[in-house]
Amino acid sequence: MRLATAANEAYTTSLTVSELLGCKQCGGGRVQDEELGIKIPRPLGHGPSRFIPEKEILQVGSEDTQMHALFADSFAALGRLDNITLVMVFHPQYLESFLKTQHYLLQMDGPLPLHYRHYIGIMAAARHQCSYLVNLHVNDFLHVGGDPKWLNGLENAPQKLQNLGELNKVLAHRPWLITKEHIEGLLKAEEHSWSLAELVHAVVLLTHYHSLASFTFGCGISPEIHCDGGHTFRPPSVSNYCICDITNGNHNVDEMQVNSAGNISVSESFFEVEALMEKMKQLQECRDEEEASQEEMASRFEIEKRESMCVFSSDDEEVTPARDVSRHFEDTSYGYKDFSRHGMHVPTFRVQDYCWEDHGYSLVNRLYPDVGQLIDEKFHIAYNLTYNTMAMHKDVDTSMLRRAIWNYIHCMFGIRYDDYDYGEINQLLDRSFKVYIKTVVCTPEKVTKRMYDSFWRQFKHSEKVHVNLLLIEARMQAELLYALRAITRYMT
């Protein structure tokens, strides 16, 4: 089951990065037992994430009781403690809700058979060429008795799942194009038709895995050791670069900054945080005095929407997806396109007319009981999660910053909040941060360690993971809103 070529590619790119960094050799590594002639796999990479140094991440065994219970639950539900869990445990409160939802979606009573659920997960993750998730779910898929033939490509799966391919594609890249005709096409396809309940289950799974793929790339999750790309049989050698070099580079603040983002001094990056704090304070204070006119407010949204497409990093080269992963979906060229660049006018989605709390929740809960509740909780936790810290500062009210991030992501999908001044986004989110957000949300497969490192340099890793949680939940909600609105329109 060689599906992880994409991951290997990712490795090659990161290895080149490590070359740039002037890698020092790494010590350690397992001794190969040559006497017996057995190849012993050696873990590639150290720790669950390529972006976050291993020692920053909680070690299994040193967790407190709450985390321990979480780990135990996760292990029991999945039969493993995957790297996603290990990274997310920075935020145990969220992790708990996340695991509960995922467990319910994949294993509890629901309209779709188990192997369908994993297959849909594979389809969704493959859209973003996320070999990590594809590998995990290929295993699960086979484990629950899925037909291995299906894995040869979507065309080998039942017609019913093939029909879902189109929705998967649109949902992942241009959710605003979903119409009730898409829904109708799925629900009225003779013997291959979906029921409404099944469709809602599928939509929730698709959005869940699209955003999880964002998280995987956004935090640089390393492949699991049992998957391809997670281990090597190569003996450790002094001349070879090892992934740990990159993480080592992280500890040395000066070196990292010099290398990854040009010549920015420590003090400068220190001021970054100060400046951000200052801006937040200003916005808070001057809010009441300054009265932006209506047109200005409207145009600010448009500007932000338009600008959000320009923030793409310059190296916008077309990555052709690895064949192995791409066989799970068709039309590999179909990617995220910004509205205006594409030359068409997409009507703005007003959240006041269709929002998750009032409309989406009721629809999901009606067709797939209890899931609405679980997702609702997850959104709430992600949106409201705060430790009132910012880098080295304590007792900061970060609600403004979190709202800016959330609304910026929705803005990229054309979702507008009437009661939000989009000028704030420009003040609070600097360019490198926007590039990161944009990449993680829209084209997660292009995230590099450089991007991860170059935003918010003074912030802790846990805070960057926190940002990622906001990103994936906002993305999931945006996709869900479009899909559910189409379903609602179909129903009325």
- Cβ of residue 40: shortest distance to other proteins, in angstroms? 31
| Residue positions annotated with a catalytic role | 130
CA angle, residues 190, 193, 195, in degrees to nearest 5: 135
Where in 306-325 is the site for other proteins (CB under 8 A)?
Answer: none
Pair type for strands 415-416 and 349-350: parallel
Does residue 255 interact with other proteins by CB under 8 A?
A: no
Around 70, how many Cα atoms within 13 Å sit in the side-chain half-sphere?
25
Kindly state the tokens that stand for 462: 């846990």
Closer to other proteins by Cβ: residue 13 or 352: 352
Least distance CB 112 / other proteins (angstroms): 12
Residues 6+ apart with CB under 8 A from 314: none
Please report, as residue ranges, which positions from 387 to 426 form the binding site for other proteins (by CB under 8 A). Answer: 418-420
Interaction between residue 294 and other proteins (CB under 8 A):
yes
Q: Is 69 in the site for other proteins (CB under 8 A)?
A: yes
Binding span for other proteins by CB under 8 A among 8-16, 177-185, 293-301, 433-441? 293-301
**Concatenated DSSP letters for 128-141?**
TT-HHHHHHHHHHH
> Which range, of 40-48, 294-302, 310-318, 452-460, touches other proteins by CB under 8 A?
294-302
* Residue 145: CB atoms within 10 Å: 9
CB-count exposure of residue 383 (10 Å: 0-12, 13-18, 19+): middle
- CA 185, CA 177: separation in Å to the nearest integer? 14
**Smaller CB distance to other proteins: residue 32 or 386?**
386
What's the CA gap between 426 and 430, in Å, rounded?
Answer: 7
Q: Which of 108, 266, 275, 392 binds other proteins (CB under 8 A)?
A: 108
The answer to whether 386 contacts other proteins (rule: CB under 8 A) is: no
Stretch that binds other proteins, among 29-37, 73-81, 178-186, 427-435 (CB under 8 A): 73-81
Site string for other proteins, 335-364 (x = CB under 8 A): ---------------x-xx---xxx-xxx-
357 Cα distance to chain centroid: 22
Least distance from other proteins to the Cβ atom of residue 98, Å: 15
Q: Does 492 bind other proteins (CB under 8 A)?
A: yes
Instruction: With beta carbons less than 8 A apart as the criterion, state whether 383 and 402 touch.
Output: yes
Residues that bind other proteins (rule: CB under 8 A) add up to a total of 32
Instruction: Say how many C-beta atoms besides its own lie within 10 A of residue 207's C-beta.
Output: 26
Which residue ranges make up the site for other proteins (CB under 8 A)? 69, 72-73, 76-77, 108-109, 145, 287, 291, 294-295, 297-298, 350, 352-353, 357-359, 361-363, 366, 373, 376, 418-420, 488, 491-492
